[in-house]
Structure 1
Amino acid sequence: MKKLVLLNLILTIVWVALTGSFVFINFAFGFVLTFLILWVISSDKSDRKYFRVIPSLVSFIFFFIYELIKANIQVAYDVITPTLYMKPGIVSVPLDANSDLEITLLANVISLTPGTLSLDVSDDRKVLYVHAMYIHDKDEFIRSIKDGFEKKLLNITR
């Protein structure tokens, strides 16, 4: 997989150099173009993970940016209005993530989103305790974490 990442980046740099346009959009287009070319010409089954991980990573980045903007707007709206809509609480979120890397990434992504903070992981690493400012429905909050951040992170790491 490392050789495909390196090859994709090298071909992208070649693309940018050949076109002579050193702007981000050209770099992104070159990356997608070389990714598709590598996907088409790849015949090795062990290289297939790379072609699954990159789209999952891009999907996760866009999902995270969306959630970040949504949470910022929600917190900012609550700050500037006279009525407080907060309903804070601590929720135990059962984990499907097993490894230390998966749990750490999930906890950090949750903490980076305004209005939520990862507090602790249980000793058996099966539960993540999260403090949230807006818990109107506990089950909905747990489902949003599991179907959102956790599911997308596990698609990348597994």
Structure 2
Amino acid sequence: MATHERGVWRLFPTQILINLAIAFLWMFLHDTWSTLSFFSGYMIGLIVLFALRKFFQRSFYFIKIIAIVKLFLVFIQELISSSILVIRQVTAPRLKIKPGVFTLETKLEGEWEVTLLALLLSLTPGSIVLQVAEDGKSYQVHAMDIPESRDVVIKAKDKFEKAIMEVTR
């Protein structure tokens, strides 16, 4: 595992625990122990941690959480668009597909990033990652319809790479 991957995740528990401590302290200082009081304390904690982010060695954890949500939304978007493409191809009166295998290059580094991209590409309909190169810089991908599916997979790979790098770096 690359050092940038371990370092980011090591800091999160500290920031989350500080934020939760601020939220509970805020809730205990108010007479009402309610969800709204805890939530407002959590928001105060986010503001405090954001203001003190210069004192942490790594980035602000909530930005990474937003990046994770963004990666999930990108995956859902690609899942829906590729599902529509596969449905269109399968329900056509005549099946005119040309399945094949092609090589897909990546700029991701580290086992975690490479594996996540391979899984996300395999989960989108119409393609599956057959093999990852030893150096982790390329994939062998099987596509249901080479001319059309290949372009969709390449566009999806670019979106996934950008979102994965926001999460891990």
- Identity across the alignment (%): 34
Question: 1:36-92: per-residue Cα shift (whole Å, max 9, x none)?
Answer: 435543342424242432222111111101111112222223223323353322121
Q: Please give the alpha-carbon distance, in whole angstroms, between the structure 2 residues aligned to 1:36 and 1:83.
A: 56
Alpha-carbon distance change, 47 to 72 in structure 1, aligned in 2, over 3 angstroms: same
1:71 aligns to what?
Answer: 82
- Would the aligned equivalents of 1:91 and 1:138 in 2 still touch at CA under 8 Å? no
SS state at 1:107 partner: helix
In the alignment, structure 1 residue 116 sits paired with structure 2 residue 127 = yes
Unpaired runs of 5+ in structure 2? Answer: 1-10, 28-32
How does the TM-score come out when normalised to structure 1?
Answer: 0.73
Q: Please give the alpha-carbon distance, in whole angstroms, between the structure 1 residues aligned to 2:18 and 2:95.
A: 52
- Listed as ranges, the matches of 1:45-124 within 5 Å are 45-124=56-135
Instruction: Pick from 5, 11, 34 the counterpart of residue 18 of structure 1.
Output: 34
Q: Please give the alpha-carbon distance, in whole angstroms, between the structure 2 residues aligned to 1:33 and 1:86.
A: 52
SS state at 1:92 partner: strand
The offset of 1:93, in angstroms, is: 1.0
2:155 aligns to what?
Answer: 144
RMSD: 3.3
The offset of 1:118, in angstroms, is: 0.6
- Structure 1 moving runs of 4+ over 6 Å: none
SS state at 2:34 partner: helix
Question: 1:83-117: per-residue Cα shift (whole Å, max 9, x none)?
Answer: 33533221211121221111111111111111110
Q: Please give the alpha-carbon distance, in whole angstroms, between the structure 1 residues aligned to 2:73 and 2:64.
A: 14
Q: Please give the alpha-carbon distance, in whole angstroms, between the structure 2 residues aligned to 1:129 and 1:117.
A: 9
- Would the aligned equivalents of 2:103 and 2:139 in 1 still touch at CA under 8 Å? yes
- Would the aligned equivalents of 1:88 and 1:134 in 2 still touch at CA under 8 Å? yes
- Higher alpha-carbon Rg: 2
Question: 1:123-150: per-residue Cα shift (whole Å, max 9, x none)?
Answer: 2322111111133268745641442112
Unpaired runs of 5+ in structure 1? Answer: 21-28
- Would the aligned equivalents of 1:96 and 1:126 in 2 still touch at CA under 8 Å? yes
Moved more, 84-93 or 139-148: 139-148
1:26 aligns to what?
Answer: none
Alpha-carbon distance change, 154 to 40 in structure 1, aligned in 2, over 3 angstroms: closer
How does the TM-score come out when normalised to structure 2?
Answer: 0.69
| Equivalenced residues, count | 149
Alpha-carbon distance change, 47 to 18 in structure 1, aligned in 2, over 3 angstroms: farther
